[in-house]
Structure 1
Amino acid sequence: MNAPVESKNRAAAPKRNSDVAAARSGKARRGIDFLNPAGDAGLSGPGSVSWRVSANPVALGVGGIAAVILELAEPAIRAGVWDHSTFKVDPIRRMENTGLAAMAVTYGPTKAAQLTFDRVTRMHQRVSGLTHEGKPYEAMDPELLTWVHVTAAWGFLNAFIRHVDPGLSRADQDRYYAEGEVVGKSFGAQWVPTSVAEVEAYMREMGPRLYANETIHEFLALVRNATPIGAAGKPVQRLFAAAAIDLLPDWLQKQTGVDISPITRMTLRPALRTLARTARFAQRFADGPPQQACRRMGVSTDCLL
């Protein structure tokens, strides 16, 4: 909702120092204040695996694309996403909106997370229809929401392990999925897996429902060229798209109809690790939602590394 327009003859109210500081450090992220209230840990907080995983843009970029491939391979989600979203006409804005929602529920204070859940739920409540095969669906179907949650969590975590921290312990991987339970259920899922074993079993169970389709390839064609910094960002974006396919196990690549060449696979992993190391180093100097959340909690950004 747009803010009301003030009369030109009305004196503007003086801004508090905290308001000025927040505005200068990125508060204008569509109303989400990651700096306040001080001490509000949100849904996970410092020390969580979620804060570490989501701080690295390589994990988010690669994992997010892999998640969408898996989502579009499910008939009802394919129809809901492709027929009711703006992705086809404005993929950059759609990715930015999705990224902001992920930041809000991971790094935002409690109120910002709840407002995000409420906003996304209202959007989903308006989405229903027929799949491309003619079967009815509703976006608020808890089973569909479980798949959306799991694909995102699986994508982010496994991209983080492959390209950022291959030594992440099994215990921390389990903890990451357990931390995400409140997120999945707050978006409307009635059940979500909370361990690596449960996630792997669930994905195997979902396998027969997934299918290769042209929408997946339309999505990949768009995402390879959708970058907010123009032509300069396309090589990285295309690398992310290839890495997302590479992230999928062979059986899921076959099930969803995507693949990459062996030569591409050999070259992209070292390149992604270099990008991830660079991004990890840059976290100390960035001023995005993760860093602002650290300031809100009065902790070092070391908890993001």
Structure 2
Amino acid sequence: MFGPDSQFQRFFNDPRWALAVLRATVLEAAHPQIGAALIDNSTFVTHPWRRLRNTLVSLQRMFGPDEGIRQREAARLNRLHARLSGTDARDRPYDAMDPEVRAWVVATLFESSVTMCRLSGQPLDRATMEQLYAEFQAFLAALGDGAGHLPPTLKEFWQYYDHMVEEELEDTEALRIILYKLFDHLPAPPLLHGLPTLWAAGRALAGPVLGAITVASLPESFRRRAGLPEIPGAQALMQSVYLATGLARFLPDDWVQAENVTSLLFLSPDSDDPHLATLTALRGRMKRAGALLRLVTPFPAQPGPAGGAGPQRDAEEFFTAVLDQTGDGYLDWPDLAAMARELSSRLDLDEPAETKLYHAYAEWWKELQAALDVDGDGRISKEEYAAGVPSLAGPALIRVAEVLFGATDGDGDGSIDADEYRALFRTAFRRTVAGIDVGADVSGDADADADGDGGHGARYSRSAFVKDFLSFMSGRSRSTAFDPLLAEA
């Protein structure tokens, strides 16, 4: 059911699957429980590229050939989902561990994969469809959910799917955000930072197309019930896009491997990846194209990402870029939980280190509430934050820094080496940390590599790490290391 010969692996590296996953995400968001969980806890609006990368990595682990990796990832997903529960705007409970909810997530991935093939003129035969369905059933079983939450046969699955579409799905806020807000405001991926005009132009063209073809691909009965508008000609456009995307499968395998594409997409200009030189030259050409575009189009100036170390940023800017992870305009526990979740994912933490980091953030949230929640509404507004910035760097935040340092220091030698640094920051010492020297303690943000070894002999001490983390998280300074960690899209 898993590994390189599975149907899933064949689809995973198919460019059309990007469209299928987008469609599946919309169908998931239309489920009232999932939609509520997304609105309350997810960073899909403010950090969509980060969430996409984490999702793809998780799917690769779950469908890979290594059973040990699969069990470990399933345990991580279960811990993550166990932390997501609450009530929606109509006081209906939601719980990400509800097995019927998890079954619907798997069902949308399967059905959207089948629909992807049908829309691109290559419908699956019965045997292939049954094999793919069995693989997704095995995926659900690997998460520990019992039998019965997905129907046992394909015939029963389609009855179940039709019932969900016609009776259970709703026109949720999360669905509307994905279709009509996310595409219009989608931030540039790390690779395209510094090219705001070119990105704005591409987004202005591609965003409406993606929205139109996604709506057109949804079940007609749901489109009518949810009142989703369909642009004339959208069906023909949708099929053309699916057909055109399908042609990419004839490209060399290295060009369409999902892992290679996402690695390049998320490649930071500060990375030490060997492909960076080629991409830097490409970025130079794209910048020239962007300059020409500014001359011949009415696109307004687009803000680029903050770069490099510098003076204290505006309090509201820091609040929006770093603290408000969910993008709802307030700082509350889901924002800090999202930080803990991202850091745990980057470091691939197991228990008890993961829970220790969550607890440290929970204590910081209590400290923030006590210091900044003036009106007692259980959340912190931009105004409350700006008025109380000096209160941010208290004992609980120091504890967060110390716990994060301990989680990053995998070998427990009391310092962070180049490999440990790269695991957290996804970049090398030589491009982000000053004073590099063999055996040296490091801190700061200027580019340097004193011994030419790329920083491999350097060490980031506990005191320097804690100092830099506190300076960043209290909004006192920018950081070329911590800014991409918690502020990148």
Could you say which structure has the larger radius of gyration? 2
Among 60, 67, 79, the alignment partner of 1:122 is 79
Alpha-carbon offset, residue 133 of structure 1: 1.2
**Count of aligned positions:** 246
The CA distance in 2 between the partners of 1:194 and 1:51, in whole Å, is 22
From the superposition, tell whether residues 271 and 65 of structure 1 become closer, same or farther in structure 2 (CA, over 3 Å). closer
Which structure has the higher relative contact order (CA within 8 Å, separation 6+)?
Answer: 1
Matched, 1:286 2:255: yes
TM-score where L is the length of structure 2: 0.46
The CA distance in 1 between the partners of 2:216 and 2:152, in whole Å, is 24
Alpha-carbon offset, residue 194 of structure 1: 4.9
Matched, 1:182 2:138: yes
TM-score where L is the length of structure 1: 0.72
Alpha-carbon offset, residue 176 of structure 1: 0.5
Number of the residue aligned with 1:96: 53
Asked if the contact 1:108–1:289 (Cα under 8 Å) also holds between the matched residues in 2, the reply is no
Number of the residue aligned with 2:335: none
Q: Aligned-pair RMSD on alpha carbons?
A: 2.5
260-269 vs 169-178, which moves further = 260-269
191-200 vs 201-210, which moves further = 191-200
Matched, 1:211 2:170: yes
Percent identity, please.
25
From the superposition, tell whether residues 139 and 263 of structure 1 become closer, same or farther in structure 2 (CA, over 3 Å). same
Aligned positions of 1:147-296 closer than 5 A? 147-163=104-120, 166-190=122-146, 191-206=149-164, 207-225=166-184, 226=186, 228=189, 230=192, 231=199, 234=203, 235-236=205-206, 238-278=208-248, 280-286=249-255, 288=257
Describe the superposition over 1:91-113 as per-residue Cα deviations: whole angstroms up to 9, x where unpaired.
12112211221222223532222
The CA distance in 2 between the partners of 1:99 and 1:272, in whole Å, is 21
Report the residue type matching 2:234 in the other structure.
T
Alpha-carbon offset, residue 123 of structure 1: 0.7
The CA distance in 2 between the partners of 1:166 and 1:287, in whole Å, is 19
The CA distance in 2 between the partners of 1:45 and 1:91, in whole Å, is 27
Alignment partner of 1:56: what SS?
A: coil
From the superposition, tell whether residues 248 and 289 of structure 1 become closer, same or farther in structure 2 (CA, over 3 Å). closer
Number of the residue aligned with 1:47: 5
The CA distance in 2 between the partners of 1:287 and 1:148, in whole Å, is 25
142-151 vs 198-207, which moves further = 198-207
Alignment partner of 1:200: what SS?
A: helix
Describe the superposition over 1:95-151 as per-residue Cα deviations: whole angstroms up to 9, x where unpaired.
221122122222353222222211111110111111221022221011111111111
Describe the superposition over 1:260-285 as per-residue Cα deviations: whole angstroms up to 9, x where unpaired.
2131222232233112212x123523
Report the residue type matching 1:53 in the other structure.
F
Q: Which runs of 5+ in 2 are unaligned?
A: 193-198, 261-489
Q: Which runs of 5+ in 1 are unaligned?
A: 1-42, 292-305
Alpha-carbon offset, residue 221 of structure 1: 2.9
